[in-house]
Amino acid sequence: MRAWILNDTRGPSSYTLAEVETPVPGPGQVRVRLVASALNRLDLWMSMGLPAPKHFPHVPGGDGAGVVDAVGDGVDGWAPGVEVIVNPSLGYAPTTDHIPFGGKLGVLGEHSWGTLADYVVVPATNLAPKPDHLPWDRAAAYGLAYSTAYRMLRRARLRDGHLMLVVGVGGGVSSAGLMIGRLMGAEVYVTSRNPAKIERAVQLGAAGGFASGGEFSKELRQAAGRQADVVFENVGPATWSQSMRSLAPGGRLVTCGSTSGPKVEVSVPPLFFRHLEIIGSTMFDHEDFARVSEWVAGGELPVLVDSVYPFEDLPEALNRMKAGDHQGKLVIERSGT
Ligand SMILES: NC(=O)c1ccc[n+]([C@@H]2O[C@H](COP(=O)([O-])OP(=O)(O)OC[C@H]3O[C@@H](n4cnc5c(N)ncnc54)[C@H](OP(=O)(O)O)[C@@H]3O)[C@@H](O)[C@H]2O)c1
């Protein structure tokens, strides 16, 4: 099969389109012929060795949708020809525990070969049926970012009527945070480095937005008349101190990432005087994915796709992500499907 492989970690230019052996599904596994795959920041990080693949060659890619091509022994309920969406959360038993999965993290495309290829093999339990009406690009785009965002908002205990601030709204996870926050009944403000992205976010339901590089905590208070119950973060040091200052007493900052660097400074007195919480969140369980899939299938949760590239043009899609020009998800699609 064709696959975008990494043989080293010199950065995005390490991606090479190559012929590799088509994987064979083992017991309990299904092989999917991919029609569309979506990018996540992880696909860039892995090309830089953050984290490095355990073995080379490696095929990254967490998100995808396609057609069941072969099933392993003991698989019930899936047959060749069925159109499916891949759940990228591996190694996670379904659970409602607050700290998920006993810390046993598994991400498709990080811990096993992923979706930047013609075929992917996943556990049969990691598939959802693709609704007929859902275009392939949307079907491929929502899995990782939207389910991560939903879990973040669950962990931050977002409720109807809360005030929420999404920082860096252009990103895949952050744009999902905006859409799911609105769906859960929050009033949502956003920040971005790009005014056009704020304008688009307002069209999508945001109440307003501010420059990520400014004093957005003050601007939020002026615009909304109060501070945020929940701040939705994954930018890190570039926005952290303003994000913390944006919290109302008792407010929660929830983060799943740190795109602008690994370290932040925390001023401790406001944390305890104002009863603030900093909440970490990573990936999601099968129930989170199922809930998000229901919303998407039911048309309640739109999936924001920035652009769709031919499979062969992966480097261009990665460059767009690296430049931070995108708003929503970047998708690659195979021709003739
Ligand atoms: N822990 C998990 O399970 C998990 C899951 C998914 C993602 N993540 C992490 O979450 C982060 C976002 O992932 P993603 O796929 O959504 O990436 P993405 O699409 O590239 O989004 C990143 C967004 O962050 C903002 N940003 C980046 N650098 C910035 C800076 N220096 N100053 C201000 N804003 C900046 C930008 O927003 P604007 O363009 O609007 O300014 C950008 O669009 C990544 O670090 C990723 O590794 C973690």
Q: Residue 83: give its domain's CATH number.
A: 3.90.180.10
Number of Cβ within a 10 Å radius of residue 10: 11
Q: Say whether both 26 and 103 belong to one domain.
A: yes
Domain ranges, residue 141: 2-146+284-333
SS3 state at 247: strand
The reply to whether 240 falls in a domain is yes
Report the pLDDT averaged over residues 242-254.
98
Is the C-beta atom of 324 inside 6 A of ligand 1?
Answer: yes
pLDDT for res 102: 56
- CA distance linking residue 58 with residue 113, whole number of Å: 6
What pTM did the predictor assign?
0.97
pLDDT for res 95: 47
Q: What is the pLDDT of residues 250-288, one digit of tens each?
A: 999 999 999 999 999 999 999 999 999 999 999 998 889
pLDDT at 94 over 50: no
Is the C-beta atom of 200 inside 6 A of ligand 1?
Answer: no
Which residue's alpha carbon is at the smallest distance from atom 4 of ligand 1? 256
Q: Say whether both 166 and 80 belong to one domain.
A: no
Q: How confident is the model at residue 105 (pLDDT cuts 50, 70, 90)?
A: confident
190 CA closest ligand 1 atom index? 40
Report the pLDDT averaged over residues 21-28.
96
The reply to whether 151 falls in a domain is no
Report the pLDDT averaged over residues 163-192.
98
Q: Say whether both 177 and 93 belong to one domain.
A: no
Give, for ligand 1, the residue of 155, 194, 235, 279 to mutate: max count of ligand atoms closer than 8 Å to Cβ. 235
Q: How confident is the model at residue 335 (pLDDT cuts 50, 70, 90)?
A: confident
Report the pLDDT averaged over residues 316-327.
96
Q: Say whether both 224 and 303 belong to one domain.
A: no
Domains held by the chain: number: 2
pLDDT for res 49: 97
pLDDT at 103 over 70: no
Q: Say whether both 98 and 119 belong to one domain.
A: yes
pLDDT at 96 over 60: no
Is the C-beta atom of 47 inside 6 A of ligand 1?
Answer: no
Interhelix angle 172-183/286-297, nearest 10 degrees: 70
Is the C-beta atom of 259 inside 6 A of ligand 1?
Answer: yes
